[in-house]
Chains A and B, each alone.
Chain A
Amino acid sequence: MHDVRSTDPEGEAFQTEVQPRVHYLNATHGIAAWLLTKDHKRIGLLYLFAISVFFLIGGVFAMLVRLELLTPEGDLLSSEAYNTAFSMHGIIMVFFFLVPSIPAVFGNFFLPIMIGAKDVAFPKLNLMSWYIAMIAGFMILTTLLMGGVDTGWTFYPPYSTTGSTSNVVLAALAIFVMGFSSILTGLNFIVTVHTMRAPGMTWGRLPLFVWAQYATSLIMVLGTPVLAITLGLVFAERVFHFGIFDPKLGGDPILFQHLFWFYSHPAVYIMILPGMGVISELVAAFSRKQVFGYNFIAASSLAIAIVGFLVWGHHLFTSGQSAYAALVFSVLSFIVAIPSAIKVFNWTATLYRGSISLQSPMLYALGFIGLFTIGGLTGLFLAALGLDLHMQDTYFVIAHFHYIMVGGTLLAYLGALHYWWPKITGRLYTEGWAKVAAVTVFVGFNLTFFPQFLVGYLGMPRRYHAYVPEFQVLNVLSTAGASILAIGFILPACYLLHSLFKGEIAGRNPWGAYGLEWDTTTPPPPSNFEVTPIVTRPAYAYTHADVVEPYGGTTEGSGESGGQEVRSV
């Protein structure tokens, strides 16, 4: 599909390659080789491992929260334990799972491959980002072992600076450190996209996943320092009693909310933009079609990244901010919804006259479109000033952001995992089980979170350990859904691990998909390509010639040219 030419004699060499083929997994052996690797693919796997652990911990806390809410009385956990549970759930899910998830795992693994590069621009920095993330992870686990933190993931002062007796300083420090990992990864991606593209890989030919990663990286680099500064100020106030946020010391608690949401609102886009990038890849691959309106999708990623910085004040509608500020933040919030709507329409239009195959990654993608649509539309309710006064800080908000962040980001993450798993591991998983899991997640998710919209509008506030009996039926439904959802997460863990040992060997391109990552051998060689590819066609330019051997494909070393094909356009 992409012209792969070699001008040097080495190009010939790999064609006569002998088995077993060298790829990134077997290139070197031993723990040390992994822990000191500068290969972006291995670093992606290191992240995959770490992030899975965080997701598991965050998930256990989610289940604790949900089980507590099965009954109106606060009977399962003490109020301190409950407050700690939802705080640790939020902190770990947001800062240690959602923010790094897609960029750190799939961005690291695939961004260089998708632009035809040998690695990221700064491989050592990349490894360092992982270590920084691990230090942060270690700190948050220490926080957990010391009894956790009970401020919620939002750390609002003066509660966080003077009211709480929990381990706020350590938790804030952990997030602070984690932020550096984000910044370094973002920087690395920006420079990589600017300088490492293969010949012919113009900006207009970049896969949309790469565009999304690029926009995300911009937000990471510009926004994360604000979070770091904000948490630094919380630290200073808590430890040295600076009067920054606590009015008793002469500070202003609303200042914190402005600073915090100046990062954390764009952070929602840090979480969701990479997911949108994944969905563009999946919809194109499983419709075998160019994404409808490539330019609009790429541009809307950038628009979201920019306007996303201007809407933070919609988290402050009930804080007594001036009515004029509220108006501005409200109108901007409506405007930022438009690029997201454009993407949804574009994905839907891409299906039109596609060649659609409902394999498991596509099921996740279609699930994403549904959940993200609901999440986005309910965001409009919260942007509407008069309604927000009623809904702010209720379960409606919880449902809304879970639809966006879990329904959106998590489904995209799972979709990406299933789509690229064969490329990453060289093995196929059991497709039947994967479909069952995708459906289970979708059903469980809706049963968990849809009732929360209703109970939220009824007036159930968030972060409640006990509630009034009228809210119980909806809460029971939600907890039942959470149990189904949990099964939907356990299933992939089982069949994916199983595939590592028993899975069929995956070919170069099991889906018959278009993209440089499917051009190279499976698993990819240490330098991604035996020969630097030269790109001559736009992204997703499917023709029949590209998908001659979707399934069997060329397995390791057994293909015509070790998996590399030379095709003319």
Chain B
Amino acid sequence: MTFPFMPEQASTMAASVDNLFFFLLAVSAFFAVLIAVLVVVFAVKYRRVHEASVGAPIHGGLVLELTWTIIPLGIAMVMFVWGASVYFDLARVPQNAVEIYITGKRWMWKAQHLTGQKEINALHVPVGQPVKLIIQSEDVIHSFFIPAFRAKMDAVPGRITTMWFEATKPGRYHLFCAEYCGTNHSGMTGYVEVMEPSAFQTWLGGGAQEGSLAEAGEQLFNKLGCATCHSGDSQARGPNLEGVFGTTVTLANGQQVLFDEEYARESILNPQAKMVEGYLPLMPTFQGLVNEEGLAQLIEYVKSLSQGGATPTPTPAAVPGSTPKPQPSDP
């Protein structure tokens, strides 16, 4: 029976994570073998021959102690810096990434593409393009884990986390939930299908009933009555949401916060937490009225208000039921 020793390398980061791994492995192997050899050699060489003999009266040595404190400390710092630099590469999402919303729910992974395409326990992504996952959870903590990409991020209820990867090889890779989430935790798995960009576009066009995510978000925006306050005119009781995504807003307490996915989400669920300067605390919470998928749509709609200028143009998307269309916004 054949079985693998190393996971496949299928993302741009996989090799750098593995290189760090091999470095640590080499250092560890060196020290482990060193200690093992010394222990065995000493145990044999200095074994007790006379029942009453005692060891040599050696009490210590400052030079030795300092040596084996400072050298390991130096090596550890190299590991730290190397580890941190890989980490920053893994954490810093490239600007041009394709965005996909991921929601963990016991016991499945739901993905929403900007085009409105949805899938469960599967994730289709294009090869050679950075993909940013915007991760939420509907119930308990989960963790989105693709070993072949050396990437993992928790899905934490109540907040948004993000991760990214760029797949390098078309194929099908395991997708696991890595944070224990109850009965069917080990069944919360699926696969990531990495496709050639053209095939991916074809797949994307394969039929999203509700239109793009932003379009669905707009409908929800109107249905929930958000538009009555966030109408954009001067009499509105809520701030205009056009053009604010990605900017810094000033709060009533003078603090500055970045208007990002997390802030949008918090403002919907817990509006009084970070009040924008100049507005009354009138907005009701929508906690319980929108689920995570709805949140993704709303956030994407608010985002779209800042992408197409003043007019709410959602990200170009496949028209429901129509033939596939390319996505000009994603380079």
Which residues of A are at the interface with B, using a C-beta cutoff of 8 A? Answer: 74, 79-80, 83, 150, 152, 156-159, 162-164, 246-248, 250-254, 287-290, 292-296, 318-320, 323, 326-327, 330-331, 334-335, 337-338, 341-342, 344-346, 348-349, 351-358, 366, 369-370, 373-374, 377-378, 380-381, 383-390, 392-394, 454, 457-459, 461-468, 470-474, 512, 542-544, 546-548, 550-551
Beyond contacts A389-B87, A393-B180: 6 other A-B pairs, Cβ-Cβ < 8 A, are A247-B159, A289-B55, A293-B64, A337-B72, A369-B39, A370-B36
Chain A interface mostly: helix
Judge whether B140 and A386 touch: CB under 8 Å: no
How distant is B270 from chain A, measured CB to nearest CB, in Å? 7
Judge whether A292 and B48 touch: CB under 8 Å: no
Judge whether B82 and A384 touch: CB under 8 Å: yes
How distant is A254 from chain B, measured CB to nearest CB, in Å? 6
- Of all chain A residues, which has the CB nearest B51? A550
A252: chain B residues within 8 A (beta carbon): 158
Judge whether B152 and A318 touch: CB under 8 Å: yes
B231 within 8 A of A: no
Judge whether B151 and A253 touch: CB under 8 Å: no
Q: How far is B24's CA from A386's CA once the two chains are assembled, in angstroms?
A: 12
Which of A159, A331, A550 lies in contact with B180, CB distance below 8 A? A159
Which residues of B are at the interface with A, using a C-beta cutoff of 8 A? Answer: 1, 3-7, 16-17, 20-21, 24, 27-28, 31-32, 35-36, 38-39, 42-43, 46-48, 51-61, 64-65, 68-69, 72-73, 76-77, 79-80, 82-91, 106, 139-141, 143, 145, 147-148, 150-154, 156-159, 161-162, 174, 176-187, 189, 270, 287
Q: How far is B176's CA from A464's CA once the two chains are assembled, in angstroms?
A: 10
Which of B31, B56, B84, B156 lies in contact with A253, CB distance below 8 A? B156
- Of all chain B residues, which has the CB nearest A468? B174
How distant is B127 from chain A, measured CB to nearest CB, in Å? 20
The answer to whether A341 and B68 touch (CB under 8 A), given A320-B156, A385-B86, is yes
Judge whether B80 and A341 touch: CB under 8 Å: no
How distant is A374 from chain B, measured CB to nearest CB, in Å? 6
Judge whether B140 and A547 touch: CB under 8 Å: no
Which of B32, B80, B84 lies in contact with A374, CB distance below 8 A? B32
The answer to whether A463 and B185 touch (CB under 8 A), given A254-B156, A370-B36, A390-B147, is yes
B156: chain A residues within 8 A (beta carbon): 253-254, 319-320
Q: How far is B63's CA from A345's CA once the two chains are assembled, in angstroms?
A: 13
Judge whether A384 and B79 touch: CB under 8 Å: yes
Judge whether B58 and A386 touch: CB under 8 Å: no
Judge whether B176 and A461 touch: CB under 8 Å: yes
A546: chain B residues within 8 A (beta carbon): 54
- Of all chain B residues, which has the CB nearest A547? B52
Could you list 29 examples of A-B contacts with CB < 8 Å? Answer: A74-B186, A79-B184, A152-B180, A159-B182, A247-B158, A296-B65, A319-B156, A320-B161, A330-B83, A334-B76, A335-B76, A351-B46, A354-B55, A356-B43, A370-B36, A373-B36, A380-B79, A384-B20, A384-B82, A386-B84, A386-B86, A386-B90, A388-B83, A393-B143, A458-B6, A463-B185, A464-B186, A542-B55, A551-B51
